[in-house]
Structure formats: C-alpha cells, structure tokens
C-alpha cells in the first residue's frame, strides 16, 4: 500500500511529492537529453534543487549505465579551498553512485589525472565510497586539476552538470575565471546553472560585457496555481478530515507570497496541530500562523546577527510584504535611515539571500514566515 502523502519542507523532495511543475519538468528533461545549457532562475525555496537534482538528474542517470550526473552545491563558498572541497565531494559522490569498484579502478581512474583514487566499500551496504587525494595541495592548481577531471569525464560519459547556487562564486576572487574555463568547453554537455540571487545572476549572464553573457537559455519557475495546491492540500488533509476551501487556501498562498517551502511548512503545522474534522477559516489560519512563528526560536537567533537598522528594513518589508521603492520618503521615515544606508542594507540582505526582488511586485523577505514573525511583533 502506498504510504500516505505528507507535507515535506526544508528538504529536497522527489517527483511523488511535487505539486504541479509537469510542463517545466518536461521541458527541463528535454533540455538535459539534448545537451542544452540552461540557466534556471527562481526565488529562494521554490524547488530548484529538487526539480533539477532529484527529478531531472535521477531520470537522466537512469537513461543508461553510462549516464553521469555531476552535482556541485556552491552555496556560501568563501574561498578557492571551499570550492575545491565542493568539487571533491561532488565528483566522489557521483562516481561512487554510478560505477562499480571494478570499473572505477579499471577505467575511471584514467580520467582522474592529478589525483590518487582511494576506494572503500561499506560492508553493510556494499556501496563503494571513494576519495580523491590531490597530488598537489595548492588550491588553484587543485581546482584546475578538478576542472580537467570534470571535462574528461564529461567528454567520456553522457553527463549532466549541475551548478547549484552558482552566483555565490562572485564572492571568491578568481573563481569566475576558473569556472568560465570549465563552462566554455562543455559544448556537448547538459549544463544546468541554478540560482536564486537574481541581481548576481543578472550580472553574470545578462550583462553584455560579461564573458558568460547568454551562456545558456533562461528558464524561470513561477508560482504554482491555486487549483494544484488545492488538490495537494486536500490529499494531505483528508486523512485528518480537515477541510479547506479556496478562500482559506488563497489566504495562505497570499500571506506566504506563493513560496512552496513556507506553504508546505504551514501545511505540516496544520496537520500536526489541528483537531480532526476542523474546517479551516481565514481567521483560524491566521491564528495558527501566529502560533507557528511564535514557536520558531531560530528567528530570534537569526535577527541577533543584524543591526537595529537592518532589522528595521526587514520589519518594514515584513509589514508591507512587497515594497517597490524601499528608498521612498515614507519608508525612510519609518526606519530613520538615509537613502544610501537603506540601499547598502538592501544589497547586503540580498547578497545573504534574506531579501529578494520580484519583477513588478518589488522587494520582499525571502522567507515569508520570517516576514509573518516580524510583521506580528
Ligand atoms: N513543486 C513543489 N511542490 C511541493 N513542494 C515544493 C515544490 N517546490 C518546492 N517545494 C517545497 O520547497 C522546499 C525546498 O525545495 P528545494 O530545496 O528544492 O528548493 P530550492 O529552490 O532549491 O531552495 P533554496 O533556495 O534553499 O536552494 C521543499 O522541501 C518543499 O517543501
Ligand atoms: Mg536549492
């Protein structure tokens, strides 16, 4: 019997847990199979990694025993050393997942120039785990050797390369040039570059002076329609006989700015905290959302890391949900800050992934539940 459907949040999800996204998946998979370069933009917590890694990547890796998925998470990389570590980790996992010990030692090791390969087998699962030891431990040389390994693997095996949170390499001097060297030589490889920090992605891929200008086709994940969320909620609320109508669901989607992670987190809270057979109303939902954020101690800790003015900007965003012009007189008055200091704060919060900009709507807090926490304080 299939296990009952639940709301999952803060984790990568698989195809069976996805709401909507059928047409996007079809297109993304087609692009993987035809070796296209794709730049996928979406706000934070919209499902980028789940779609590309868990769904498209999994399908791609099942196309044959040769198909290889190389996934690198570049979130918050601080230095060339940390990029080298992410490369090591990604390559090791992909190879161990794809090839048998025999194949690794007989064939694959030939592509690992500059590294010695150590293979261990977990006796419990019989799964190989591999580690690459660099022969030269200088970060720049190590990265360029790792990049050569990626290129050789991609030339030998049908490969899908995923660079997640790619924009964060902006903060590491010299990293962009190294990646350019890799990306520009992967003509016959499906490349997916994922990012949520739109302001940084725009500089990298949409500025005519950038070397990666128009490197791939842009794709965007938009909001999920209410009719799909309705079916998704009903399936997960039905075992507890909790009822929701379109007006109530719409209030959730609006308050949570259509962000799927926050919507699922609230869905899970409702299932855990409501009596069976409850009928959800807008008022009851509001009360439950207040309770959910009151319970999130992590927000108090997070805000301790920011100055009073920075918290003031976040509160102003929280209260209005979207602000088109954060440097308008009305906003400056409420925060007691100058135009230039608000501009600096917004930039810092965007670089940290705490604030984002949605076309036509304006700036908002990336985590709408943090928004609700601040708005109700
Ligand atoms: N289509 C969807 N259906 C249901 N839930 C979704 C969907 N897309 C995203 N989610 C929710 O978002 C959460 C985060 O997904 P994921 O980590 O893939 O997003 P992301 O965009 O990569 O996030 P981040 O910005 O943190 O990298 C999931 O745990 C799930 O709760
Ligand atoms: Mg992600």
Q: Which protein residues are within 6 Å of ligand 1, measured from CB? A: 8-13, 18-21, 42, 44-50, 196, 224, 260-261, 264
Nearest protein CA to atom 19 of ligand 1, as residue: 47
Confidence of residue 375 (pLDDT cuts 50, 70, 90): very high
From 241, 271, 295, give the residue that closes a domain: 295
The predicted model gives 208-224 an average pLDDT of 92
363 and 318 together in one domain: yes
Confidence of residue 34 (pLDDT cuts 50, 70, 90): very high
* Global confidence as pTM: 0.95
The predicted model gives 41-50 an average pLDDT of 97
266 and 346 together in one domain: no
- Using one digit for the tens of pLDDT, what is the confidence trace for 107-151? 998 999 999 988 888 888 877 888 888 888 888 899 999 999 999
230 and 260 together in one domain: yes
280 and 330 together in one domain: no
Confidence of residue 325 (pLDDT cuts 50, 70, 90): very high
In a domain, 246, yes or no: yes
Find the 240 Cα to ligand 1 centroid distance in Å. Answer: 24
State the average pLDDT for the chain.
94
Return the ligand number nearest the Cα of 41.
1
Confidence of residue 101 (pLDDT cuts 50, 70, 90): confident
Find the 14 Cα to ligand 2 centroid distance in Å. Answer: 13
Find the 11 Cα to ligand 1 centroid distance in Å. Answer: 7
In a domain, 12, yes or no: no
Task: Return the SS3 of 295.
Answer: coil
Nearest protein CA to atom 12 of ligand 1, as residue: 261
From 255, 275, 295, give the residue that closes a domain: 295
Distance of alpha carbon 208 from alpha carbon 247, whole angstroms: 45
Per-position DSSP letters for 196-244, written without gaps between them: S-HHHHHHHHT-TTSTTTT-SEEEE--PPPHHHHHHHHHHHHGGGT-B-
Which pLDDT score is estimated for 211?
85
In a domain, 126, yes or no: yes
The gap from C-alpha 267 to its chain's centroid, in whole angstroms, comes to: 20
73 and 185 together in one domain: yes
Distance of alpha carbon 355 from alpha carbon 336, whole angstroms: 20
Find the 115 Cα to ligand 2 centroid distance in Å. Answer: 29
The predicted model gives 294-323 an average pLDDT of 95
**Alpha-carbon Rg for the chain in angstroms:** 23
Nearest protein CA to atom 28 of ligand 1, as residue: 9
Per-position DSSP letters for 119-163, written without gaps between them: EEE-TTT--EEEEEEESS--HHHHHHHHHHHHHHHHHHS-EEEEE
Distance of alpha carbon 60 from alpha carbon 366, whole angstroms: 31
Distances (CA, A) of 344 to 236, 335, 349: 43, 14, 9
284 and 247 together in one domain: yes
Q: How many domains does the chain have?
A: 3
Which pLDDT score is estimated for 307?
96
pLDDT surpassing 80 at residue 1: no
- CATH number for 111: 3.40.50.300
Which pLDDT score is estimated for 179?
92
The predicted model gives 248-271 an average pLDDT of 98
Find the 45 Cα to ligand 1 centroid distance in Å. Answer: 5
pLDDT surpassing 80 at residue 2: no
- Using one digit for the tens of pLDDT, what is the confidence trace for 155-204? 999 999 999 999 999 999 889 989 998 998 898 899 999 999 988 999 99
Nearest protein CA to atom 29 of ligand 1, as residue: 9
Residues in the chain: 377
In a domain, 15, yes or no: no
319 and 183 together in one domain: no
141 and 59 together in one domain: yes
In a domain, 10, yes or no: no
Which pLDDT score is estimated for 345?
97
The gap from C-alpha 19 to its chain's centroid, in whole angstroms, comes to: 16
The predicted model gives 300-321 an average pLDDT of 96
From 269, 295, 321, give the residue that closes a domain: 295
Do the bridges between strand 115-121 and strand 68-73 make them parallel or antiparallel, or are there none, so unpaired? unpaired
Nearest-atom number in ligand 1 for the CA of 44 is: 25
267 and 330 together in one domain: no
Counting ligand 1 atoms within 8 A of each CB, the residue from 260, 263, 350 with the most, and so the one to mutate, is 260
317 and 247 together in one domain: no
Other Cβ atoms closer than 10 A to 272: 10
Nearest protein CA to atom 31 of ligand 1, as residue: 9
Domain boundaries, position 145: 21-220
230 and 208 together in one domain: no
In a domain, 300, yes or no: no
Which pLDDT score is estimated for 123?
83
Nearest protein CA to atom 8 of ligand 1, as residue: 47
Nearest-atom number in ligand 1 for the CA of 18 is: 3
- CATH number for 350: 1.10.10.10
206 and 240 together in one domain: no
Return the ligand number nearest the Cα of 163.
2
Find the 367 Cα to ligand 2 centroid distance in Å. Answer: 14
Task: Return the SS3 of 367.
Answer: coil
Nearest-atom number in ligand 1 for the CA of 50 is: 18
């Amino acid at each position: 019997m299939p296990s009952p459907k639940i709301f999952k949040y803060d984790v990568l999800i698989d195809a069976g847990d996805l709401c909507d996204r059928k047409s996007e998946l079809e297109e993304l998979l087609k692009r993987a199979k035809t070796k296209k370069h794709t730049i996928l933009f979406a706000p934070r917590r919209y499902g980028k990694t789940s779609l590309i890694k868990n769904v498209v990547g999994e399908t791609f890796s099942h196309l044959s025993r040769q198909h290889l998925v190389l996934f690198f998470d570049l979130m918050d990389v601080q230095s060339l050393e940390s990029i080298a570590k992410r490369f090591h980790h990604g390559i090791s996992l992909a190879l161990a997942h794809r090839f048998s010990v025999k194949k690794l030692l007989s064939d694959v090791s030939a592509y690992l120039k500059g590294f010695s390969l150590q293979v261990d087998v977990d006796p419990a699962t019989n799964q190989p785990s591999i580690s690459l030891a660099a022969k030269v431990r200088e970060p720049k040389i190590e990265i360029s050797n790792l990049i050569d390994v990626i290129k050789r693997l991609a030339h030998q095996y049908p490969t899908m390369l995923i660079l997640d949170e790619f924009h964060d390499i902006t903060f590491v001097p010299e990293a962009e040039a190294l990646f350019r060297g890799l990306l520009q030589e992967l003509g016959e490889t499906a490349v997916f570059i994922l990012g949520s920090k739109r302001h940084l992605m725009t500089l990298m891929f949409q500025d005519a002076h950038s070397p990666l200008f128009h490197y791939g086709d842009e794709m965007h994940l938009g909001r999920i329609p209410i009719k799909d969320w309705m079916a998704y909620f009903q399936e997960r609320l039905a075992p507890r006989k909790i009822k929701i109508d379109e007006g109530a669901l719409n209030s959730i989607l609006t308050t949570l700015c259509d962000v799927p992670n926050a919507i699922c987190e609230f869905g899970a809270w409702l299932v855990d905290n409501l009596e069976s057979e409850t009928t959800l109303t807008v008022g009851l939902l509001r009360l439950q959302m207040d309770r959910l954020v009151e319970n999130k101690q992590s927000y108090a800790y997070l805000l301790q890391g920011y100055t009073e003015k920075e918290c003031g900007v976040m509160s102003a965003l929280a209260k209005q949900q979207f602000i088109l012009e954060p440097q308008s007189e009305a906003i400056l008055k409420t925060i007691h800050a100058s135009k230039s200091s608000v501009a600096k704060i917004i930039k810092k919060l965007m670089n940290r992934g705490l604030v984002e900009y949605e076309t036509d709507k304006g700036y908002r807090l990336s985590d709408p539940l943090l928004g609700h926490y601040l708005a109700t304080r």
